[in-house]
Structure 1
Amino acid sequence: MPVRILVTYYSSTGSVHRLAEAVRDGADSAGAEVRLRRVAELAPPEAVASNPAWAQHHSETEDRIPVASLDDLEWADGYAFGTPTRYGAPAAQLKQFIDSASSLWHEGKLADKPVTAFVSSAEQHGGQEATILSLNNVFYHWGSVIVPLGYTDDVVYAAGGNPYGTSWPAGFPSTMPDETVLECARYQGRRLVRFAELLSPARDESTVAAA
């Protein structure tokens, strides 16, 4: 049975959405069963409408990409989380979803699963690494196994050399990731699957032994 990967993200104007699709495609090409999920929009409608790119992306994905649920988190053998940077931290929309998972954390249903993260910011030094490190603090508490990119493939160098996770300096107005960065995101998806395949059988054996 293929491992199950959940790619969960928040995107306002679309660059993180594009990265999430690439991570999904990479995981899918490695043989995983993949769910692509967006988190719910928390901003008031007038805020979304004030930015044409934000409004357009919200309209294009609202009915096309399902909203992430706790059932998705429980279902998956591995996680990829994507977010724009917000002052060096994840967007509130993604953090709200993560904060809602305390019941699964308490039951140990998030532990021992591989997790990776990807980001976008307006500027190259706009908090990309800090945002991934901030997310990692959550994963330490979950007991997850963090899977960074590292310098494990030449595509990481070509895409900007961020060993923490795929990152895209989108600029302002926001632009979409180029093909090199998308290939890095696909590689990140494939790499996540490899660790999910290694960890999932061991986790199942541990569950049986505990029972």
Structure 2
Amino acid sequence: MSKVKVAIIYYSATGGNYQMVQWAKDAAEKAGAEVKVLRVQELAPESAIASNPLWKKHYDETKDLIPVVTPQDMVDADAIIFSTPTRYGNVASQFKQYLDTLGGVWSQGLLVNKTITAMSSAMNANGGVEETIRSIYTSAMHFGAIIVAPGYTDPSIYAAGGNPYGASASIIDGEIKNDVEGAVRHQAKRLVDVTRQFLGK
């Protein structure tokens, strides 16, 4: 039986979303998936990154460790986990720029029937995370993808704050403050399980 291929595509400035991605990767692999972790291209100038020590530290630690995602990575995957911090109720510009590069593969129908789930973060418990996740799902609808939201399918969703759209972290100074790990792990496993059912793998 072939493995479900999962691409985890994320943006993280100070490391909180990166931590969520690590939990998702571990859970997806334990569920039997083949996982690739990929970061979107950083667009901010070096001066902006250097102005925030946490941002600079995380950027330096991961820029050569995690490959930059390409549109082909979406094509090659069966399932995709997206993760981005919220920016005023929407995705980070770095993340949006990647979505905007998908026109070529989208126009060929190469994103149809990919299974997609999304996670986000903000400083506050709310802070726009639901709208950020929903904006990703809006793009997924244009792709013809299949949205696999966690809903209320596990107690961990409630423990993390009760967001049925996707795991959402409260992150301050690069540290996750709410109990979101279980929700992230459940969401990643659910994506693999649903994708396996759909593909008959």
TM-score, normalised with respect to structure 1? 0.91
Find the aligned partners of 1:115 and 1:125 in 2 and give their Cα distance: 22
Matched, 1:142 2:143: yes
Matched, 1:43 2:15: no
Find the aligned partners of 1:199 and 1:166 in 2 and give their Cα distance: 22
- Shift in Å at residue 181 of structure 1? 1.0
Structure 2 unmatched ranges of 5 or more: none
Question: AA paired with 2:192?
Answer: V
Find the aligned partners of 1:176 and 1:62 in 2 and give their Cα distance: 21
1:109 is matched with 110
1:65 is matched with 66
Question: AA paired with 1:175?
Answer: E
Structure 1 unmatched ranges of 5 or more: 203-211
Matched positions, count: 200
Matches within 5 A, 1:40-189: 40-171=41-172, 173-176=173-176, 180-189=179-188
Percent of paired sites with the same residue: 42
SS of the residue corresponding to residue 82 of structure 2 reads strand
Find the aligned partners of 2:197 and 2:103 in 1 and give their Cα distance: 26
Question: Aligned-pair RMSD on alpha carbons?
Answer: 1.3
Find the structure with the greater CA-based Rg.
1
Pair 193,177 (structure 1): closer, same or farther in 2 beyond 3 Å = farther
- Shift in Å at residue 21 of structure 1? 1.1
Which whole-Å deviations, capped at 9, do the CAs of 1:116-153 have from their partners, x for residues lacking one?
Answer: 00001011121000101111110110011111110000
Question: AA paired with 2:185?
Answer: R
Question: AA paired with 2:81?
Answer: A
- Shift in Å at residue 200 of structure 1? 2.5
SS of the residue corresponding to residue 64 of structure 1 reads coil
Structure holding more helix per residue = 1
Find the aligned partners of 2:31 and 2:52 in 1 and give their Cα distance: 37
Find the aligned partners of 2:46 and 2:199 in 1 and give their Cα distance: 41
SS of the residue corresponding to residue 43 of structure 2 reads coil
| 2:117 and 2:147 in contact (8 A); partners too | yes
SS of the residue corresponding to residue 194 of structure 2 reads helix
Find the aligned partners of 1:174 and 1:36 in 2 and give their Cα distance: 19
Find the aligned partners of 1:125 and 1:27 in 2 and give their Cα distance: 26
